Chain A
Amino acid sequence: MDIVTVQNLKKYFGSGPRQVRAVDGISLSIEKGKLTAVIGASGSGKTTLLNLIGGLYKPTEGTVIIDGVNLGRLQEEELTIFRRRKIGFVFQYCNLVPELTVRENILFPLALDGSRPDMIFFEKLTGLLGLQEKLDDFPYMLSGGGQQCTAIARALIARPAIILADEPTGSFDAKTSQNVAGLLKMTTDTFHQTLIMITHNLELAQLADYVVRLQDGRIVQ
C-alpha cells in the first residue's frame, strides 16, 4: 500500500538560460512502513525532492499525494497543520531548541498541536533510543549522536504518516553515522513508520528496503 505518490514532479529555480532544473519529471510511489533511501551526487536534486514531498517547496509542475491528500490543493495554513500531523522531519543538523530539555524538545510537536502525549509510547520510544536517563538534560549536554536521537524521537512522537530524513548522519564521523542510521532504521521498523532518507553513504543505503538513485533531477535507478 502506497503512502506517498509523486507524479511527474518538477521544480525549476530561476528562468531563462540560467534556469536550474533541480527536479525534472520524477514519478515514484513509496510503500507504507518501508525505508527508501534516496542517493545521488551533490546537486542531483535529492534535497529538493525531499522538500517537495514534505510540502516545504511548491512544485513547478506535478503532484505530491501523501496519505491520500494532494498537497497542491492545500492553503498555506492547511499545509502547516498537515505537515505538523503527518510528516516528521530529521535534518542533518538536529535543530533542537537549546532552552528546552530533551523531554520538552521531544514533546514539542504535540504541544504545538495542542495534543496530549501518549506517555507509554513516549517511554517506549525514549527507551529504544537510550534517552531515559537524559530526559531532563539540555541539548548542549548531549553528544552529537544523542542530540540526533532526540531529533529522531521528536520526529516520531506524533506518529506521523512519513518521516523525511535529509542526510541525518551528514554532520557526523563514520562511526556516529552508522550508529545514528542504525537507530533510525531500528525505531522506524519497530513502530512500522515509513522513512525516506537521503544519504550519499552507500553503506547506509544498504539498510533501505528500496533505493532511488537520482542524477540531474531524474531517477536513474
Chain B
Amino acid sequence: MKQDHTACLPHLLALAALLLILLGLLELPAALLHSVAVGLGLAVLLLTLLWKRHQKQREFDFANSVCETLDALINDREPENYRPYEDSQLSKVQGKLLQYHDRTQSGQRQSEETKQTIQELVSDISHQVKTPIANIRIFTDILRQHELPEEKRTEFLSTLSAQVSKLDFLMQSLMKMSRLETGTFVLHMENASLYDTIAQAVSSIAAMADRKQIQIDINCSSQETIRHDPKWTAEALGNLLDNAVKYTPEGGTVYVSVRPWQFYIRIDITDTGIGIPTEHYNDVFKRFYRTPSSAAAEGVGLGLYLAQGLITRQKGYITLASEVGRGSTFSVFLLR
C-alpha cells in the first residue's frame, strides 16, 4: 500500500510556528530572530507550494486512472489498473464503475436472451400446432369430399371439434407463456382472500374431478388474506390442481391445505397419483417437459411451467416432494 507523505505537512507547519514562538521566548537578538523568521517563512511557503503541487498531481493521477478504467469499459476490455484488493479510493471508485458497467451489460444480455426466447417460442408454437391443424385439415377434406353415413359424419365432426378445442387450449397456453417469457405480463397485486382464490382455482377443475369422482379436500381458513394477484394465482393453482386430478385414480382425493408461516403462506396440493422420480424434480417445471410415465395422459407440458412462472413473478416459489407410486405434493410459497 502507498504511504501518503503529504499527510505530515500540516504537522511540519505547526512545528515551524512553534519554533518561532520558542525563539521569541529565548530573547535572541532582533536581527537574528528576523532572519530566522524570514527563513522559516520561506521554508513554509516552499513547502506549501510543494504540497499544493503534489495534491494537484494526485488529483490528476486519480482522474487519469478513472479515465483509463472508463476507456477499458467503453472498449469492452478488462481495466488493467483495477486492484479490488487495495485499500484505496481509486479501487473503490473503480469497483463502483465496474458494478455499473456490469449492470448495463446484464440488461443487454437479458434483451439478447429475450430475443432468443422469442425465436424458440415461435419454433415451439409452430411445432405444437402442427398436429391439430393437420388433423383438422384431414377431417375437413374427408367431410367435404366423401358422402358419409350420418353416424360417421357425427363421429368425424366431434373429432374435428375436439381438435379445435385442443388448438384453442394450446393457443391460450402459448399466449400466456409468451407473455410470461417476454415480460409483457402485468401483475395486479392486492390484499385479497386466499380462500376465494383457491375456490376460483378449484372451480376450474371441478368438472374434471366430478367425471373421475375425485373429491377435493380443502383445508383453508376463510380469514386468510394476503397480498397477491388473485387471477394469476388462481391460474397457477388451477394448473397444479389440474395435474393432481389428472394423475389421481378414479374415486381418489386431492388435498389442498394452507398453512400460514412467518414470512410465507404455504399451500400444499397433494395427490395420490403415479408420483415423480427425484431425478425429474427440476425437469417437470421446464417448458414442454413430460416425464416418461406421464406420456399416456393428456397435456402438453406447459401447466407446471406456467404455474412456476406465475408464482415466481410474485416473489414466491414452488417445491415438490413425491414418492413414486404413492403421489406428489406441490408446495406453493407466497410472501405474506
Task: Report which A residues bind B (CB closer than 8 A).
Answer: 1, 32-33, 67-69, 74, 77-79, 81-82, 85-86, 113, 115, 128, 130, 143, 145, 159, 175-176, 178-180, 182-183, 185-186, 190, 192, 202-203, 206-207, 211
Q: A74-B85, A81-B87, A82-B84 are in contact. Are A143 and B317 (CB under 8 A)?
A: no
Q: Which of A1, A143, A179, A206 contacts B320 (CB 8 A)?
A: A206
Q: Is the interface of A mostly helix, strand, loop or mixed?
A: helix
Give the A-B pair count, Cβ closer than 8 A: 65
Task: Check if B99 sits within 8 Å of A159, measured CB to CB.
Answer: yes
Task: Check if A179 sits within 8 Å of B86, measured CB to CB.
Answer: no
Query: Bound state CA distance, A2 and B99, in angstroms?
Result: 15
Q: Report the count of interface residues on B (CB-CB < 8 A).
A: 28
Task: Check if A85 sits within 8 Å of B282, measured CB to CB.
Answer: no
Q: Which of B78, B92, B263, B319 contacts A179 (CB 8 A)?
A: B263
Query: Bound state CA distance, A85 and B91, in angstroms?
Result: 10
Write the B244-269 contact mask toward A (1 if CB under 8 angstroms, else 0). Answer: 00000000000000000111101000
B232 within 8 A of A: no
Which residues in A have their C-beta under 8 angstroms from that of B84? Answer: 67, 69, 81-82, 85-86
Task: Check if B261 sits within 8 Å of A179, measured CB to CB.
Answer: yes
Which residues in B have their C-beta under 8 angstroms from that of A69? Answer: 84-85
Q: Which of A78, A159, A180 contacts B85 (CB 8 A)?
A: A78
Query: Bound state CA distance, A12 and B262, in angstroms?
Result: 42
Most chain A C-beta atoms within 10 Å of own C-beta, residue among B99, B106, B109, B262: B262
Which residues in B have their C-beta under 8 angstroms from that of A32? Answer: 106
Q: A81-B87, A179-B261 are in contact. Are A206 and B95 (CB under 8 A)?
A: no
Closest chain B residue to A79, Cβ basis:
B85
Task: Check if B86 sits within 8 Å of A145, measured CB to CB.
Answer: no
Shortest 5 CB-CB contacts between residues of A and residues of B: A78-B85, A82-B85, A179-B263, A186-B315, A206-B319
Query: Bound state CA distance, A143 and B92, in angstroms?
Result: 35
Query: Bound state CA distance, A30 and B271, in angstroms?
Result: 36
Query: Bound state CA distance, A113 and B87, in angstroms?
Result: 8
Task: Check if A175 sits within 8 Å of B261, measured CB to CB.
Answer: yes
Could you list 28 A-B pairs, sorted by A, with CB under 8 Å? A32-B106, A67-B84, A69-B85, A74-B85, A77-B1, A81-B86, A81-B87, A85-B84, A86-B84, A115-B92, A145-B262, A175-B262, A178-B266, A178-B333, A179-B264, A180-B263, A182-B264, A186-B335, A190-B315, A192-B103, A202-B278, A203-B319, A203-B321, A206-B281, A206-B282, A206-B320, A207-B317, A211-B282
